[in-house]
Amino acid sequence: MVRFGMFELINREPDLMVCGEASDAYEAIDDLPRSKPDLVLVDIALSGKSGLEFIKETQRLQPGLDTLVVSMHDEGFYAERVLRAGGRGYLMKLAGADELLRAIRKVLSGEVYVSDRIANLIFDQLTGRNLAMEGGIVERLTDKEVEVLSLIGQAKESREIAKQLNLSLKTVETHRTHIRQKLSIGSRAELIQFAVRWTMSEDFGVPGQGKKA
């Protein structure tokens, strides 16, 4: 339903056209050679591969392809990671239709789109006023460790996580160990409790033929 709404919104614009859509990351990657988009809209939470990994993969396959993340997840934690991965912007789903179209056009014009709040945080970081972006202790984790932590918070066992992320069981267990070490979490049970609380806070937003999208 979200994709359908975006489809209708974008296609009503005279200078924009939707050239494809996909239900998961793998379907989207397979469709890139056919659709040849100028811009890809993607969520952080995807089936089979996270939005961060999807952006990295698209940059490997088609360097320079613009990607704009539109997500419910808190921009304070994810926006900088998206930009580091090669994305060109981050928009919260709470933003209105006009803001989405403005973000799309800004990225297509060669600029980066982030909210004023995130722009200020990045500026403060670059100038040394802040040592790190928002995100608290979870900021210590790598992108892959964040994926694993999120899936732990969704009550998935290590075998399920390994299958979903296309990793070995040993690799998932190594990630779990590193997460516990970095976050100073003692037991597996405590890790699950932390992951559930963190995932819930993320889900609810706490800490003619023109260009094709």
In tens, the pLDDT along 204-213 reads: 443 344 455 5
Is the domain spanning 2-128+208-212 CATH 3.40.50.2300? The answer is yes
The answer to whether residues 100 and 91 touch, using CB atoms and an 8 Å cutoff, is yes
Confidence of residue 74 (pLDDT cuts 50, 70, 90): confident
- Distances in Å between the Cα of 78 and the Cα atoms of 44, 138, 156 are 8, 11, 22
Categorise residue 155: left if φ over 0, alpha if ψ from -120 to 50, beta otherwise: left
**Secondary structure of the chain: what % helix, strand, coil (to 5)?**
55, 10, 35
CATH class belonging to 136-203:
mainly alpha
Tell me: the pLDDT tens digits for 176-196? 999 998 888 888 889 998 888
- The single residue listed with the structure tokens 């088609």 is 62
Q: Is residue 68 helix, strand or coil?
A: strand
What pTM was estimated for this model as a whole?
Answer: 0.67
According to CATH, where is 3.40.50.2300 located in the chain?
2-128+208-212
